[in-house]
A and B are shown apart, each in its own frame.
Chain A
Amino acid sequence: MHQASFPKPGSLIIPDWHQNAEGGEYLSCILRKRKRRMFGLIEQPVLPPQLPFDIASYKIFVCGKSGVGKTALISKLCGLEVPSVHHETTGIQTSRVYWPVRPRDSQRPVIFCFQLWDCGESALKKFDHILLACKEKADAVLFLFSFTDRSSFEDVPALISRTLSQDEDPARVVIGTRFDQFMHTDVTDQDVGLFQQTWQLPVMRVRSVNGPRLSDGISLDGRIELLDAAPVLNGLAEILWHRDQITAGLLASDV
């Protein structure tokens, strides 16, 4: 059965840790010359020996209706350009995001490796193996809606039941995209609050726009992008950490 509870933000990890001196040092391993550092599958962040860390990997499936901003959200979290024109993702694409976190109960900082799985809707419909592949051993599923499209918000409960069956138990997180377009907002804070109360699911808000660029005018400023993405990355880390603790029996499920 799906666990109804999710941790209170900041209860399990130190939320602004990456802004203090220690966190800053750890953060530097995912930046290079103010740009985000990219890692291939056979690499991982490297830190000097005096900065010990553990790595924890999680598979996260990102779903939501076509055009809701799945690829844009992932680009944002990876520090890549948010695509300016929408086109449906062909097949599956996955991206790894490394994010150092300081859990309150852990001896050393943990670098979370989020493996984000993205797929286009028509691929889902056309090829049977895709949904199964995305859900296979997923630790969390992100259900996306757009703040500028009310129907996508109202569809979230149906989306959840379409995507996951009763006995599947990844962490469930709802994310509202395009929070930047407040002029066109179709979903109010009240709506979100009510939803959260009814369904007992964490809801996060993201802005789907590129941040400022470096002086070359081309590259995105990695540090600012990271600070922008920090609330979502921290939120995910905390939810997954919480889930692990419950699985390990270290924490009662009603925290």
Chain B
Amino acid sequence: MEGSSVFLLCLTASSGVPLYCRSKRSSRQLTFSVIGSLNGVHMFANNQDVLLTSTRTENSRVLWRTFHESINLIVMSCDSNASDHSLNRLLENVFSTMVLVIGLDDLMNIKNVERLKKDLRACYKLIDSFLTESEKIGDLTQCVDCVISNDSVILQECLDGFTQAAESEFGCLLIGGKVVVATEKWWRLASLDAMLLCWLVSSLSPHSSRDYPVYLPQGSPTVPHRLLTFQLVPGVDVCILCGPSPSLQKVELELVERFWKPVLDPVKSCLRLQLRSFPISLNLHQGILGFLLINRDLNKSLYTVQVHPFEDTQRSDIKCILEHRRASLRSFYTLTMLRYFSPEHHDGKIQYEEAFPEGFTHQAHQCYVVSSSHKCYATKTDLHFLFLLFKTNVPTFSMRAIANKTMQVFTKEFNF
């Protein structure tokens, strides 16, 4: 297998018929015999009452998951940054995507494999975005990626009015799949559902409006809802989740202009937030390269690796640098969450990594890592997790103070 390629396979669990195969950074397709062997070994183990979950070779990892005894997903990754945790998240996201688009019923009772294969093509864009996405981190955190706008008060007012006029309670304003503002009820959707809806909208090719049937994997996996999306300006969409009424045409013609035209400038200015995720007027410590802030109550997150965008644009190898920062922050997040901040509940799920606190009665509240290229620091409070990525010249002893100050800025001043 090539460099850091990832292969994703989907098969029916009962007969092992391949439904699709997606890949990242690979021009080659997996041969039928490889697909057959990967599925075969899982099936063999299954017949011996052994649950095969993962294996590792020198340069790759393979994970298996069966969903509802109907769909098998297999991922094979040569990406050195991948962990069992991140690959498991990938498989969960991919299956949830299938539910979102097809509905759970048709996945659990497969009547016509060829038909299902055809229908599943509608999931490819969203699945591929989970394989390749870089600007967002919701795939790993299963939280909703957000941006902070200076105009959020006026946009929130607009959105609330618009959503209400459209006979819905669930509305959000999205820029490149990140939430600028959302209605109160939107934040009460299951975080996986809300995250998937945002990723769905950003993965689809641009359209003026859509009336897209969606099954919410957590909230409503068998009864579809309608997701209406309206492109206010290219890159900015407003979405509402609703039942049978109102019609797309009605909302588009009667409500979109009425509510949103007066705020054209604030809407357009959202586009400037895309990379940094927060306004340019806000200065953070010079030593911070990137961060991830998670609101644990609303399951929303603020994520960027371009805290000082002007500094970055002057560098020629910026793409590489950003990729390295993203990989560092992602693996630090995974390490911290699994080893030190292990969430209170495991929902009876299988533990994929050895946990740190075995034998300890206390839980870690802060942790840091120092490497040759970066320093990382994480802190947790009742309501938030904060993960920071620092330049190496930041003194280790000062990271806690900077972290506390950064936390203050976002939670107190911006109420995140």
Contact = CB atoms under 8 A, between A and B. Distances in A.
Contact of A43 (B122, B212, B233): B233
A86 B124 CA distance: 11
Nearest to B245: A129
Nearest to A115: B208
Contacts of B415: none
B66 to A, nearest CB: 25
Given A40-B234, A42-B257, A94 B207 contact: yes
B210 A91 contact: yes
Contacts of A129: 244, 247
A162 to B, nearest CB: 21
A87 B124 contact: yes
Contact of B206 (A80, A123, A136): A80
A92 B211 contact: yes
Contact of A94 (B252, B261, B264): B252
B206 A42 contact: no
B213 A136 contact: no
A90 interface: yes
A150 interface: no
B244 A81 contact: no
Interface residues of A, number: 34
A209 interface: no
Main SS class of interface, B: mixed
A81 B204 CA distance: 13
Nearest to A38: B234
Residue in B101, B213, B226, B234 whose Cβ sees the most chain A Cβ within 10 Å? B213
Given A41-B232, A129-B247, A133-B248, A122 B119 contact: yes
Interface residues of B, number: 35
B260 interface: yes
Given A42-B256, A42-B257, A115-B208, A127 B213 contact: yes
A137 B249 contact: yes
A42 B213 contact: no
B205 A94 contact: no
A41 B206 contact: no
Contact of A123 (B204, B213, B249, B261): B213
B111 to A, nearest CB: 14
Contact of B210 (A42, A43, A93, A132): A93
A225 B121 CA distance: 27
Residue in B205, B211, B232, B264 whose Cβ sees the most chain A Cβ within 10 Å? B211
Interface of B: 101, 118-119, 121-122, 124, 204-213, 224, 226, 230-234, 236, 244, 247-249, 252, 256-257, 260-261, 264, 267
12 contacts: A41-B260, A42-B257, A42-B264, A43-B233, A83-B205, A87-B122, A88-B118, A90-B213, A92-B212, A93-B211, A94-B210, A96-B208
